[in-house]
């Protein structure tokens, strides 16, 4: 059953915002358009004055005297889409330092941005370090939405308006691509051939849960390896995709290994794949890959909401001396603790799913003091011999140490 929502839906990230608001003069919330950043911030800081920097009128007012504008609102202000006036961060830097020297650490300014400046603008990043708590808000997780049907979640995704206003996902994502992504990508990143870029996105959707096939993209779209990497970076900066690296104790190998590609939102991936209904999602050839994407995306969003530094990865053991290789879908390693997770789109637990987890245990038992086995599936959460089976909505339990 899918819960219907009519009003504001609380977000996991609010706990991190509560903590940060007691220690940082600035909170910066980044994430894709339509993820609910503005609504959450206005809900949370209801007594702050709100300014939309995407508005030309507001930008003109700010540019007349940035320092006066900031100081006039030092008691509390929200600067929405602040990246449209990036140099205001220089003023915020000075004001924040003054507040810190006076031990006035409670939050006075909240910044939002649909542009990930951590990857795109070193100047803004350097200004924010030590003065702002950086929080990333993505589309909603299965747990936040209380969606029990994985196929509904795979088809609809987690953008709030689809659930709060019951918008048609097909119409929503058609407009999302047209009015948000196209504008964002073309204006900010100067993409001249939007049709080819859209085809590139569709090819990425066809690779969810897999390594990137440079050869296929090059042959289909005529793009160089450098151009492909550039466009992948744009999709990452825009919070459309993320990469999960292959896990290895060797840090340099992890950096150079080929990552797997995932979409932050399965609804967008399904739309790009031409999946036009929940029933189609349930019978689609890529339902397994989309379910894996849903789980790993929810894990990543939960980590980000908790403001943790944990990075999801996967385990790949190649064939060696006659022994067949194997793969483990998800690895969460923290200190001397490793959690290894297999992801299966099935309602009934099967003990054989622990096969690769047991093989991995034999390889890594000398490295980690604690090694925990999990299977995430569509059935009930329960203890099973040798580990735990988790329903896909319960991925937050993986972060309990």
- Per-residue pLDDT tens, the chain, 401 aa: give them: 344 445 788 999 999 999 999 999 999 999 988 999 999 999 999 999 999 999 999 999 999 999 999 999 999 999 999 888 888 888 999 999 999 899 888 999 999 988 665 555 555 566 677 788 889 999 999 999 999 999 999 999 999 999 988 889 999 999 998 877 777 777 667 787 888 999 999 999 999 999 988 999 999 999 999 999 999 998 998 899 999 999 876 544 544 467 999 999 999 999 999 999 999 999 999 999 999 999 999 999 999 999 888 899 999 887 776 677 899 999 998 877 889 999 999 999 999 999 999 888 777 655 666 889 999 999 999 999 989 999 999 999 998 76
Give the range of the structural domain holding residue 382, as residue numbers without chain letter: 141-401
* 191 in any annotated domain: yes
Same domain, 132 and 146: no
Helical (H) or strand (E) element with 95: helix 88-101
Same domain, 132 and 157: no
**Dihedral of CA 156/159/163/167: which sign?**
negative
* 8 in any annotated domain: no
Helical (H) or strand (E) element with 341: strand 337-343
Same domain, 28 and 151: no
Distance CA 201, CA 181 (A): 11
Same domain, 274 and 380: yes
Distance CA 185, CA 197 (A): 9
The residues with which 331 forms a beta bridge, in sequence order, are 313, 340
- Residue 157, both tokens: 């995704």
* 5 in any annotated domain: no
Helical (H) or strand (E) element with 134: strand 132-136
For position 55, which CATH number holds? 3.40.50.300
């Amino acid at each position: 059953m899918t819960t219907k929502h009519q009003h504001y839906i609380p977000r996991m990230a609010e706990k991190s915002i509560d903590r940060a608001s007691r220690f940082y003069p600035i909170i910066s919330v980044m994430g894709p358009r339509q993820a609910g950043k503005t609504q959450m911030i206005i809900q949370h800081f209801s007594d702050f004055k709100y300014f939309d920097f995407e508005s030309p009128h507001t930008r003109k007012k700010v540019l007349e005297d940035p320092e006066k504008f900031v100081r006039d609102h030092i008691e509390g202000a929200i600067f929405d889409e602040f990246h449209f006036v990036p140099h205001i961060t220089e003023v915020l830097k000075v004001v924040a330092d003054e507040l810190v020297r006076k031990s006035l650490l409670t939050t006075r300014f909240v910044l939002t941005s649909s542009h990930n400046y951590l990857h795109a603008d070193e100047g803004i990043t350097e200004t924010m370090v030590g003065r702002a708590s950086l929080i990333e808000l993505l589309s909603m997780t299965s747990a936040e939405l209380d969606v029990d049907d994985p196929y509904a979640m795979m088809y609809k995704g987690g953008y709030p308006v689809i659930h709060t206003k019951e918008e048609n996902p097909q119409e929503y994502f058609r407009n999302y691509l047209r009015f948000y992504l196209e504008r964002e990508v073309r204006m900010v990143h100067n993409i001249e051939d939007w049709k080819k870029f859209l085809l590139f996105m569709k090819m990425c959707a066809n690779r969810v849960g897999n390594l990137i096939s440079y050869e296929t993209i090059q042959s289909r779209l005529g793009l160089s390896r450098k151009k492909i990497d550039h466009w992948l970076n744009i999709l990452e900066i825009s919070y459309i995709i993320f990469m999960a690296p292959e896990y290895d104790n060797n840090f340099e190998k992890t950096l150079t290994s080929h990552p797997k590609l995932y979409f932050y939102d399965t609804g967008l991936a399904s739309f790009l794949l031409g999946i036009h209904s929940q029933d189609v999602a349930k019978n689609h050839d890529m339902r397994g890959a989309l379910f894996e994407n849903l789980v790993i995306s929810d894990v990543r969003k939960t980590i980000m909401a908790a403001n943790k530094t944990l990075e999801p990865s996967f385990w790949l053991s190649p064939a060696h001396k006659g022994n067949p290789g194997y793969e483990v879908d998800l690895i969460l390693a923290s200190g001397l603790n490793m959690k290894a997770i297999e992801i299966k789109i099935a309602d009934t637990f099967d003990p054989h799913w622990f096969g690769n987890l047991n093989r991995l245990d034999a390889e890594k038992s000398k490295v980690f003091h604690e090694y925990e086995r999990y299977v995430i599936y569509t059935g009930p959460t329960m203890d099973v011999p040798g580990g735990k089976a988790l329903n896909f909505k319960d991925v937050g339990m993986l972060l309990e140490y």
